[in-house]
């Protein structure tokens, strides 16, 4: 079982959401949870601007890069890039159902191509020392037998040295549903993921899908090694504030939302000073949910998403927006 990176809790890869600015923000709330990048395709890295997709702030560690692709050679090249940039893990996406991804023959449709997935993982493992992991569903389309995911995981564990499997506990329906619906409509079957852990006790099994509270997390941890949280960690990020204490036995002082904004202001200023095209909108769009439950949250959200205020804004926008929050 992998031991260097703790995956007890992690924040899911989410396209357009878990970019470096979100990850820096999340890291101010939890010191320990593993943070995943958005999915980056091998094409974007090998034929685009690798540095734009890969660079990140040291403070984000532990951080994992998720790759989308199905060509073992390309994935190997990208795994080397991941290691060179200092990522703690590289993850292969076998769960994304979007039609664009299916056209590129990667994502969830790879669950039907287990030998190819094994080749991809081996190619990455051969060239890197960092952990190579997989994120996948429990099946594709309407095939709803447990055997599908058991055989997928079993074959990969047998044919490669991959020992960490992150399982979104629902099927991906490759036709007829949008990616959004594919995160909501196919039913969650947590029992399949628990059973994987029973059948493969030596593997690290991480459960994902529909987790919204610390009580949910506690319950899952009775059955699996770790819990990955996606949407709730984005829409209600301060829910992560208790994680270090509850799940990592680390009782450092928990920052208040207002203290977090102070740190974010310094971060935003640093990014603006670098003059590399980052503007306030790129960063503050991730902060909208921070004040959930506090008086003034609505005004906070309104200010941080007001096109007029954002146009040419500097960090005083954050100072003014936080002024709307009542303690
Ligand atoms: C906006 C958005 C983008 C996503 N992008 C990715 C992605 O790039 N790679 C991936 O493996 N999953 C992606 N997902 C799926 C999440 O990683 C996660 O599996 C899913 O949201 C279920 O977890 P949750 O119920 O905790 O949100 C995305 C989800 C959302 C909401």
Whether residue 286 sits in one domain with residue 153: no
Same-domain check for residues 101 and 171? yes
Q: What percent of the chain has pLDDT over 90?
A: 89
Q: From atom 5 of ligand 1, which residue's Cα is the shortest distance away? A: 14
Give the pLDDT score at 315: 98
Q: Which of 216, 248, 280 is where one domain is finished? A: 248
The per-residue pLDDT for 3 is: 44
Helix/strand/coil for 207: strand
Of the pLDDT bands very low, low, confident and very high (cuts 50, 70, 90), residue 69 is very high
Q: Encode pLDDT of 256-312 as tens digits.
A: 999 999 999 999 999 999 988 999 999 999 999 999 999 999 999 999 999 999 999
**265 lies in the same domain as 311:** yes
89 with 178, same domain? yes
Test site for ligand 1: of 183, 207, 234, most ligand atoms within 8 A of the Cβ = 183
Do 44 and 190 lie in one domain? The reply is: yes
Confidence of residue 71 (pLDDT cuts 50, 70, 90): very high
Cα(185)–Cα(95) distance, integer angstroms? 15
**Residue 57 and residue 161 in one domain:** yes
By most ligand atoms within 8 Å of CB, the mutation choice from 10, 12, 108, 182 for ligand 1 is: 12
- Asked if residue 147 belongs to a domain, the reply is yes
Residue 327 lies in a domain: no
Token reading at 172: 């991906």
- Tell me: pLDDT of 175 over 90: no
Q: Say how many domains are in the chain.
A: 2
CA atoms within 13 A on the CB side of 35: 29
Residue 204 phi/psi, 5-degree rounding, is: -90, 115
Rounded distance, CA 63 to CA 60, Å? 6
Q: Are residues 58 and 169 in the same domain?
A: yes
Question: 39 CB under 6 A from ligand 1?
Answer: yes
The two structure tokens encoding residue 304: 């941080």
- Residue 117 resides in a domain: yes
Closest CA to 11 of 38, 48, 51: 38
The domain boundary, picked from 229, 248, 267, lies at 248
What is the predicted pLDDT for the residue at 1?
A: 40
Distance from the alpha carbon of residue 137 to the mean position of ligand 1, in angstroms: 11
Specify whether 62 is located in the same domain as 36.
yes
- Residues 161 and 209 reside in one and the same domain: yes
Within a domain: residue 232? yes
**Which protein residue's CA is at the shortest distance from atom 14 of ligand 1?**
14
Residues 244/25, Cβ–Cβ less than 8 Å: no
- Taking the CA of residue 107 as reference, the ligand 1 atom at the shortest distance is 11
In a domain, 297, yes or no: yes
Tell me, using a 6 A CB cutoff, whether residue 208 lines ligand 1.
yes
**Nearest partner of 304 among 223, 109, 217, 290, judged by Cα:** 290
Residues 34 and 155 in one domain: yes
Tell me: do 194 and 303 sit in the same domain.
no
The domain that contains 301 carries what CATH number?
Answer: 1.20.120
209 has pLDDT over 60: yes
124-146 residues labelled b (16+ CB within 10 A) or e (exposed): bbeebebbbbbbbbbbbbeeeeb
Q: Same structural domain for residues 240 and 131?
A: yes
Domain, as residue range, for 17: 9-248
Catalytic site includes residue 96 = yes
Mean pLDDT over all residues of the chain? 95
Catalytic residue among 96, 109, 120, 162: 96
In the structure, what pLDDT confidence band is assigned to residue 2 with cuts at 50, 70 and 90? very low
β-sheet bridge partners, residue 132: 90
Q: What CA–CA distance (Å, rounded) separates 249 from 218?
A: 13
Residues 6+ apart with CB under 8 A from 170: 137, 138, 183, 186, 187, 188, 189, 209
């Amino acid at each position: 079982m992998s031991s260097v990176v703790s995956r007890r809790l992690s924040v899911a890869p989410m396209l357009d959401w878990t970019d470096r600015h979100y990850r820096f923000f999340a890291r101010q709330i939890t010191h320990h949870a593993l943070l995943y990048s958005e999915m980056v395709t091998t094409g974007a890295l090998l034929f685009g601007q690798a540095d734009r997709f890969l660079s990140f702030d040291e403070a984000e560690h532990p951080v994992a890069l998720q790759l989308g692709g199905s060509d073992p050679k390309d994935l190997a090249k990208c795994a080397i890039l991941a290691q060179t940039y200092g990522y703690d893990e590289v993850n292969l996406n076998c769960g994304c159902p979007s039609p664009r991804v299916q056209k590129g023959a990667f994502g969830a449709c790879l669950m039907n191509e287990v030998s190819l997935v094994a080749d991809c993982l081996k190619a990455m493992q051969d060239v890197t020392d960092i952990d190579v992991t997989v994120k996948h569903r429990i099946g594709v389309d309407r095939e709803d037998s447990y055997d599908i995911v058991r055989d997928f995981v079993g074959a990969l564990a047998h044919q490669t040295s991959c020992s960490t499997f992150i399982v979104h506990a629902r099927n991906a329906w490759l036709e007829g549903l949008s990616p959004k619906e594919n995160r909501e409509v196919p039913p969650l079957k947590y029992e399949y993921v628990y059973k994987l852990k029973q059948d493969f006790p030596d593997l690290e099994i991480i459960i994902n899908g529909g987790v919204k509270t610390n009580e949910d997390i506690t319950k899952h941890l009775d059955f699996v090694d770790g819990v990955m949280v996606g949407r709730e960690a984005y829409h209600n990020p301060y829910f992560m504030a208790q994680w270090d204490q509850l799940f990592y036995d680390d009782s450092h002082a928990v920052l208040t939302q207002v203290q977090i904004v102070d740190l974010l202001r310094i971060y935003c200023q640093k990014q603006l000073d670098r003059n590399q095209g980052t503007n306030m909108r790129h960063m503050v769009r991730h902060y909208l949910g921070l004040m959930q439950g506090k008086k003034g949250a609505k005004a906070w959200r309104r200010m941080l998403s007001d096109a007029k205020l954002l146009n040419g804004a500097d960090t005083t926008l954050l100072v003014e927006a936080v002024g709307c929050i009542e303690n």
